[in-house]
Structure 1
Amino acid sequence: MKKLIKDNSLSLAFLLLFIISIALQIIFGLKEYNKFLIENDAPAVDIVSYLQSGHFIESTFENWESEFLQMLLFVVFTIFLQQRGSSESKDFSKEEDVDQEPSPDRKDAPWPVRKGGFVLAIYKHSLSIALFLLFLLSFVLHFYGSLKDENKSHILKNESLETAANYIADSRFWFESFQNWQSEFLSVYAIVVLSIYLRQIGSSQSKPVDAPNSETGE
């Protein structure tokens, strides 16, 4: 068990932080949503009903959407684009291991590499495919939750409901998306540029402390 935890401590730490964060989001989100309902003369809801509400679905997936979009674009852009001196960029002046064609003869090569053909073709792009599907799913759920939350407000105000066809062009939905997207793109820009000049000893996201600013990669 100790070896399992040690070998997976990075992912387990972030998983634990995710669980704590989403639990606190639910607790405070429920309070905020019930405050909104009471102010509009509607009965408060319990946690089960809240988890099915547009308020929870929208607020959760609009953030997930931007995270997966950021990671997808970063993975894809680093194939073709470089930042001289950044630890987050490949060095285009030499061949990198990640650019080499996979060899089925390599010891302990993953099953898709040994299988070859269509399976290997998918596996070679599986990271970007997975991130795209997660982004697409999050985008759809964000839209669904945002529309549901908007229509809840309309119901409380005795107004006609929004249709999906009309809401896809609504400023509220796109404001929710872009307010998250811009922060994700800024954070990637910051780590790419700051890693040129700044160091963090012991981190895989940093170059060696004594490396020159012009050195790309670790």
Structure 2
Amino acid sequence: MALFIITICAQALTGWKQHNQEIKEEGGRELEFKLYLQSGHFISATFENFQSEFLQMGMYVLLTVGLRQIGSAESKSLDEEEDVDREPKPGPNAPSPVNKGGLWLKLYSNSLSLCFFILFMVSWVLHLHGSWVDHNDLQLLKHLPTDSLGQFLWQPTFWFETFQNWQSEFISIVSIVFLSIYLRQKGSPESKPVDAPHMETGK
């Protein structure tokens, strides 16, 4: 959390300076820092990254339920049932949705992936909004007409920003799944034991 706070502050300060430099080059008036934090430039840059991270984690959580990779530390066993697959049982120490059963249990049983996908959708919408506002701010600086949200969606800018982030998240998932077959990190829960055979699946 400390690393997140440090880096988001660093992003805000450097983004503010960069954005003001762009505004100055176009002959516009520089923004105060507090106004920059409300600008499309900051909102777009921030949630452009957030949405790809939430998509990555949501996909990772969901796909590892049913898919397997032989030899990977990130995969469940190929032929044995694991604790995460057992049916939930009510009890005094069980979370309340488990004891309630029915719809509450169904939602709770999928709450991790649902949460990530809700966070993804919220971040995607905020990224779109920020990117659109930033685009129109730049259009005004250049004395060009602004675009409606629908018009902006047909332009490549937003989709370029989106796909450049998505592809990096997908390759990172592929990397951890396949590299953990042959490589080790002693003490890490993301690695198999150092002396484990390459084709041993799971931790």
TM-score by length of 2: 0.98
Q: How much does 1:169 deviate?
A: 2.2
* Structure 2 residue 86 is the aligned partner of structure 1 residue 100: yes
The corresponding residue for 1:73 is 59
* Structure 2 residue 111 is the aligned partner of structure 1 residue 136: no
- Which 4+ residue blocks in structure 1 deviate beyond 3 angstroms? none
Q: How much does 1:115 deviate?
A: 1.6
* Structure 2 residue 19 is the aligned partner of structure 1 residue 33: yes
Letter in 1 for 2:105: L
The corresponding residue for 1:171 is 156
The corresponding residue for 1:197 is 182
| Separation in structure 1 between the aligned mates of residue 96 and residue 186 of structure 2, nearest angstrom | 36
Letter in 2 for 1:163: S
* Structure 2 residue 36 is the aligned partner of structure 1 residue 56: no
Letter in 1 for 2:84: V
Which of 93, 96, 112 is matched with 1:127 structurally?
112
CA deviation digits over 1:69-111, x for unaligned, max 9? 1111111111111110001111131111111110103x52111
| Separation in structure 1 between the aligned mates of residue 61 and residue 30 of structure 2, nearest angstrom | 43
Letter in 2 for 1:172: T
| Separation in structure 2 between the aligned mates of residue 149 and residue 207 of structure 1, nearest angstrom | 46
Q: How much does 1:43 deviate?
A: 1.0
| Separation in structure 2 between the aligned mates of residue 217 and residue 108 of structure 1, nearest angstrom | 28
| Separation in structure 2 between the aligned mates of residue 116 and residue 194 of structure 1, nearest angstrom | 40
3-state DSSP of counterpart to 1:144: helix
Alignment of 1:144-183 (within 5 A): 144-183=129-168
Letter in 2 for 1:65: Q
* Structure 2 residue 29 is the aligned partner of structure 1 residue 43: yes
The corresponding residue for 1:7 is none
Letter in 2 for 1:55: H
User: Alignment length, in residue pairs?
Assistant: 203
Q: How much does 1:129 deviate?
A: 0.5
Which of 172, 180, 184 is matched with 1:187 structurally?
172
Percent of aligned positions with the same letter in both sequences?
Answer: 51
TM-score by length of 1: 0.91
| Separation in structure 2 between the aligned mates of residue 75 and residue 169 of structure 1, nearest angstrom | 32
* Structure 2 residue 82 is the aligned partner of structure 1 residue 115: no
RMSD of equivalent CA atoms: 0.8
3-state DSSP of counterpart to 1:84: coil
- Shifted more, 89-98 versus 15-24: the winner is 89-98
The corresponding residue for 1:23 is 9
The corresponding residue for 1:4 is none
